[in-house]
Structures are given as C-alpha cells and as structure tokens.
Amino acid sequence: MPREITAFSNPLIKRVRNLRDKKHRREEGLFLAEGLRILTEAHEAGRVPEYLFYSKDMAGHPLVRSLVDATEGAGGWAVETNADILSKLSGKDNPGAVVGVYPDFAVTLADLDRTKAGIWLVAERLRDPGNLGTILRTADAVGAGGLILIDDCVDPFSVEAVRASMGALFTVPVARSSWGDFLVWLRKGPGQLVGLSLDTEHDYRAPLYEAPTFLLTGNEAQGMPGFMAEACDLLVKIPMLGKADSLNAAIATAVMAYEVLGQQRS
C-alpha cells in the first residue's frame, strides 16, 4: 500500500534530498527525476522508480495511479506527500506532481552495438546540464544509437540534466569514457568520426556521411582540443552568416545530426 510522509525530518526525505548532490548519487547508485511527463515516459520505456513521491491532490490522476501501481508492483515505495516536500526534493519552487528515484543505468562502451544505428553522438567535456539534456533529446529525435560522454562531462543524472532531457535519458543509452579508451574502441570496428569545428573549410552539407557516423561536439567554451581534431576522419563547420562566431553546442549538434539523418534516409 502507498505510504504517507509529510515531515521534513523523515530520514527518507533527507536521503532522497541528498541525491541532488553528485557525491551521494554515486554512493547510492540512484538519481532523481521529476515531472509527470518524464516519469510517464520512463515508465513507457520500462523504467520504474524505486521510490515514487506524489502530491495528495494528484493521487486520483490516472497516470499517477499507473505509476503508483507499477512502483508498488516492482517492490518499490509509493509515497503520498505534499507540495512542500516535493519542492524540497526537486529543488523547484513549483515542483511537478511527482518525483521518482531511479537506479543509475549508465552503460559502458562494451555494452554498445554500433551496428544498431547510423548516428551516434559524442560530446567531450560538456559542462552545461541544459546542453547535455538537449543533446539527449536530439539523440532520441534522430534515432541515434546513444550518447558517449568523453572525459570530465557534467553528470547526465543530475536533476537539471534529467529535467532538460525531457525523458530522453530513459530512451537513449549514455556511456562515459576517456578519450583514449573511446578512440581504441572506435577503431576496432566501422565508424566515421566527424568533428564539429570552426577550423576547417569543409561545409557540413558537402561530405557524404558513412554509417555509422559518430558526431563529436567539443567543449562549449573551448571547442575540441587539437589532438582530438587530428584524430577525426573529417572536420566540418556550420556557416555563420551573421555576427555570432558559433552556435550553441547543443544546437550545432542538432543541425549536424539532422543533416546526417537526411542523408541516410535518402
């Protein structure tokens, strides 16, 4: 049966609140997701929370009831609470109707099957959780095989990144790797590594992209290091016709991903 918690001092509330911190997420192997849409998409993708918190006034909503039944059916806890508790857990003044606690399901390079998709997204030293979430949404939209995070990237399981992904975290495999390990893995099989760069004359629409294409996006402020650019099979740039010298990293990734998708579909 669903439980009820309304006290801020409850040990479970304190434990779940601590998952907003990267250190505690890694220790527990758990992360937070909030919002009825995101949790419903997670459910549809086969992901059920270990703990589900929902507001009392939403208890009768059919999607909330479905989440409660799935959580309890899988041996988890469904907890009825109030808006103040939900706000404390999510860190938002206007929290969503539900907050879920999920096990971390990051994968390794060895888990990836490069033949299952024609497009793969790769990002190195990505710092902004909003950019990471948007790139995940792009990966889902173009049917990418997954997102590979290189070196010291923002945590994809942070509340902000999960929120920005709008559920795509639950549908797109995310692997984390060092640059060296990624390059060794990549060269063991087929795969064209295409880097987004301003230091090239190749327009992004000119080349023919071979499947599987791995699109490499560099750090938002610095771009990719020279040694990474040298390792790419191809460097391409998106023309800038105005005064701005570059696009946002997530936007540039989306533009490139749809160019590759368009070629592969035709």
Q: How far apart are CA 219 and CA 224, in angstroms?
A: 6
- Residue range 178-190, pLDDT digits in tens: 999 999 999 999 9
Residue 199 pLDDT > 90, yes or no? no
Q: How far apart are CA 118 and CA 132, in angstroms?
A: 20
Can you tell me the mean pLDDT for 125-147? 97
Q: What is the 3-state secondary structure (H, E, C) of 177-213?
A: ECHHHHHHHHCCCCCEEEEECCCCCCECCCCCCCCCE
Which tokens in the block code for residue 157? 């399981």
Q: How far apart are CA 248 and CA 261, in angstroms?
A: 20
Q: Name the nearest CA neighbour of 193 among 250, 121, 259, 241.
A: 121
Q: Which residue has the tokens 């907003």?
A: 20
Contact 142, 262 (CB under 8 A): no
Can you tell me the mean pLDDT for 107-132? 96
Give the sheet arrangement for strand 234-236, strand by strand: 174-177, 147-150, 119-124, 213-217, 192-196, 234-236
How high is the pLDDT of residue 242? 84
Sketch out the chain's domains with CATH numbers: 3-103 (3.30.1330.30), 109-265 (3.40.1280.10)
How high is the pLDDT of residue 30? 97
How high is the pLDDT of residue 95? 66
Contact 131, 247 (CB under 8 A): no
Residue 2: band (very low, low, confident or very high) from pLDDT cuts 50, 70, 90: low
Q: Give the CA dihedral 108, 114, 116, 121, nearest 10 degrees.
A: 80
Residue 1 pLDDT > 60, yes or no? no
Q: What is the 3-state secondary structure (H, E, C) of 11-43?
A: HHHHHHHHHHCHHHHHHHCEEEEECHHHHHHHH
- Residue range 215-262, pLDDT digits in tens: 999 999 888 999 999 999 999 999 888 887 778 999 999 999 999 999
How high is the pLDDT of residue 101? 97
Can you tell me the mean pLDDT for 123-137? 96
- Residue range 150-169, pLDDT digits in tens: 999 999 999 999 999 999 99
